[in-house]
């Protein structure tokens, strides 16, 4: 039986919306956000929505079709993303992103389509007949709901962002340019290979970020006032995500002998090599309301400095296109490899993001509140999973020395 893989767009790649933002030297940004991610479909090669897993035909040993077992799973991931950023210099920022999965819930929604007439029964197998037959072979009926990954970390990310020194061309074009490197530590865990319904928390399982990523980003501010505050910003990001090959244990059928007995012909383990990504993002930010501005301890009692702080309200719209490469499975069974690889063929995902940030720095409170909604249902993808993520968080700006 095909495993249920639950995918999530979990971790944002930057703490700030602008593509090239870095922190001043010696400044911390402490950020905590809640993530609510849902998924119930995948895109096929023709950009049509399909269930997360294929139908599973079951046959009588040496006989006809018992029936077709299908599922239309719906998954919910709930998590907390902890972010700590530190300005090493005015042009270099270090970041730690730690996604903590609070709980993952999968509603399996199994269904049964009767198959051929069974002479020993005088009718086709019903769903209860099938599971009674499976139970006689030691195969339990899968649960209608699976809950797991409680308080489990996903792969933790370490990142560095460097602001590129201003050059003649970038100055002429009015561009700010930055480069970012992020590396995911293997702190997540793959799904239990012996469970029919399971979800992992590695970078591949979440399908939100790679094991290593390189970003080249730019911002073009417009409507900049005399204090350097842009009321409109156009930004872009080009990146490459690399996924490391992993050696994983093959299901032995110890818990599910009828549905997950693969080891005898696949081997004790196999290698999973996910396809790498090339991505690009185009974003537009607008600040319709600067808000009142006061000279407080946050600005060192300077009104001039306070007027250079971010506006009270900033709204964001962005579009990301991600090209996903072909996956590879390596085992003792070429047929099993092919069955896995055909579900992760070269494809793409289209992500639209809406966001808003309330910054209280101008009011003398070093706090920002933000909300984002990232959706993949608006523009169909190809050979990828469609997840929608609602995020709400709070960010505190602090300087301790």
pLDDT tens-digit readout, 195-219: 988 888 999 988 889 999 999 999 9
At 69, which CATH number?
2.40.160.40
Residue 93 located in a structural domain = yes
End-to-end C-alpha distance for the chain, whole angstroms: 57
158, 180 contact by CB (below 8 A): no
**In the chain, what percentage of residues exceed pLDDT 70?**
96
Residue 18 located in a structural domain = no
Residue 23 located in a structural domain = no
CA 86 to chain centre: 24
* pLDDT exceeds cutoff 80 at 363: yes
Question: Span 20-38, mean pLDDT?
Answer: 94
Say what the pLDDT of residue 54 is: 83
Residue 78 located in a structural domain = yes
pLDDT band at 6 (very low <50, low <70, confident <90, very high): very low
For the chain, counts of helices (H) and of strands (E):
6, 23
Question: Span 354-375, mean pLDDT?
Answer: 95
Q: Number of folded domains in the chain?
A: 1
55-63 long-range Cβ contacts below 8 angstroms, 24+ apart: 55/113, 56/1, 56/2, 57/115, 58/115, 58/130, 60/116, 60/118, 63/116
pLDDT band at 225 (very low <50, low <70, confident <90, very high): confident
* pLDDT exceeds cutoff 50 at 1: no
* pLDDT exceeds cutoff 90 at 171: no
Edge to edge, the sheet with strand 328-330 lists 246-249, 269-273, 328-330
339-344 long-range Cβ contacts below 8 angstroms, 24+ apart: 340/272, 343/2, 343/54, 343/383, 344/274, 344/275, 344/383
Say what the pLDDT of residue 298 is: 87
**Angstrom distance (rounded) from CA 364 to CA 355:** 23
pLDDT digits (tens, 9 = 90+) for 64-112: 898 998 888 999 999 999 999 999 999 999 999 999 999 999 999 988 9
Question: Span 13-40, mean pLDDT?
Answer: 82
* pLDDT exceeds cutoff 90 at 7: no
Residue 1 located in a structural domain = no
Q: For the chain, what is the mean pLDDT?
A: 90
Give 214's contacts (C-beta < 8 A, 6+ positions apart): 179, 180, 181, 239, 240
* pLDDT exceeds cutoff 70 at 8: no
Residue 76 located in a structural domain = yes
Residue 259 located in a structural domain = yes
pLDDT band at 193 (very low <50, low <70, confident <90, very high): very high
* pLDDT exceeds cutoff 70 at 233: yes
Say what the pLDDT of residue 12 is: 30
Domain residues for the domain of 390 are 28-398
Question: Span 237-255, mean pLDDT?
Answer: 96
* pLDDT exceeds cutoff 70 at 2: no
Nearest to 309 by CA among 376, 397, 184, 185: 397
pLDDT digits (tens, 9 = 90+) for 251-289: 999 999 988 999 999 999 999 999 999 999 999 999 999
For the purposes of burial, counting CB atoms within 10 Å of the CB of 245, is it exposed (0-12), middle (13-18) or buried (19 or more)? Answer: exposed
- Residue 296 token pair: 């407080």
Say what the pLDDT of residue 96 is: 97
Question: What is the phi/psi pair of residue 161, to 5°?
Answer: -120, 130
237, 281 contact by CB (below 8 A): yes
* pLDDT exceeds cutoff 80 at 5: no
pLDDT band at 9 (very low <50, low <70, confident <90, very high): very low
Task: Count Cβ atoms below 10 Å from residue 257 Cβ, excluding itself.
Answer: 14
* pLDDT exceeds cutoff 80 at 18: no
Residue 141 located in a structural domain = yes
Distances from the Cα of 177 to the Cα of 38, 159, 164, 284, angstroms: 34, 17, 5, 16
**Angstrom distance (rounded) from CA 274 to CA 277:** 9
pLDDT digits (tens, 9 = 90+) for 112-147: 999 998 888 888 989 998 899 889 989 999 888 999
pTM: 0.89
Say what the pLDDT of residue 15 is: 34
């Amino acid at each position: 039986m095909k495993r249920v893989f639950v995918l999530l767009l979990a971790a944002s790649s930057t703490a700030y919306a602008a593509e090239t933002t870095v922190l001043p030297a010696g400044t911390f940004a402490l950020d905590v956000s809640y993530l609510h991610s849902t998924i119930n479909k995948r895109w096929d090669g023709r950009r049509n929505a399909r269930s997360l897993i294929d139908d599973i035909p079951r046959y009588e040993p040496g006989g006809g079709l018992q029936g077709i077992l299908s599922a239309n799973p719906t998954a919910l991931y709930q998590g907390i993303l902890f972010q700590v950023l530190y300005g090493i210099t005015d042009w270099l920022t270090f970041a730690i992103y730690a996604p903590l999965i609070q709980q993952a819930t999968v509603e399996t929604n199994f269904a049964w389509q009767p198959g051929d007439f069974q002479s020993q029964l005088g009718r086709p197998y019903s769903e209860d007949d099938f599971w009674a037959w499976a139970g006689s072979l030691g195969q339990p009926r899968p649960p209608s709901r699976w809950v797991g990954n409680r308080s489990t970390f996903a792969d933790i990310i370490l990142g560095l962002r460097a602001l590129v020194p201003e050059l003649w061309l970038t100055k002429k074009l009015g561009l700010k340019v930055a480069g970012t490197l992020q590396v995911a530590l293997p702190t997540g865990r793959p799904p239990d290979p012996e469970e029919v319904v399971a979800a992992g928390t590695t970078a591949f399982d979440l399908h939100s970020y790679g094991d290593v990523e390189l970003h080249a980003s730019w911002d073009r501010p417009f409507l900049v006032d005399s204090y350097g505050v842009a009321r409109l910003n156009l930004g872009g990001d080009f990146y490459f995500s690399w996924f490391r090959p992993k050696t994983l244990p093959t299901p032995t059928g110890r818990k599910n002998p009828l549905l997950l007995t693969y080891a005898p012909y696949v081997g004790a383990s196999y290698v999973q090599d996910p396809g790498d990504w090339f991505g690009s993002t185009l974003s537009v930010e607008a600040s319709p309301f600067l808000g009142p501005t006061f000279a407080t301890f946050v600005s060192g009692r300077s009104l001039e400095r306070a007027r250079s702080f971010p506006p009270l309200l900033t709204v964001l719209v962005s579009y990301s296109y991600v090209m996903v490469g072909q996956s590879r499975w390596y085992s003792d069974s070429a047929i099993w490899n092919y069955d896995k690889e055909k579900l992760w063929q070269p494809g793409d995902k289209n992500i639209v993001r809406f966001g808003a940030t309330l910054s209280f720095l101008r009011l003398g409170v070093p706090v920002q509140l933000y909300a984002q909604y990232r959706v993949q249902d608006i523009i169909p993808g190809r050979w990828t999973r469609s997840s929608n993520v609602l995020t709400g968080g709070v960010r505190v700006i602090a300087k301790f020395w």
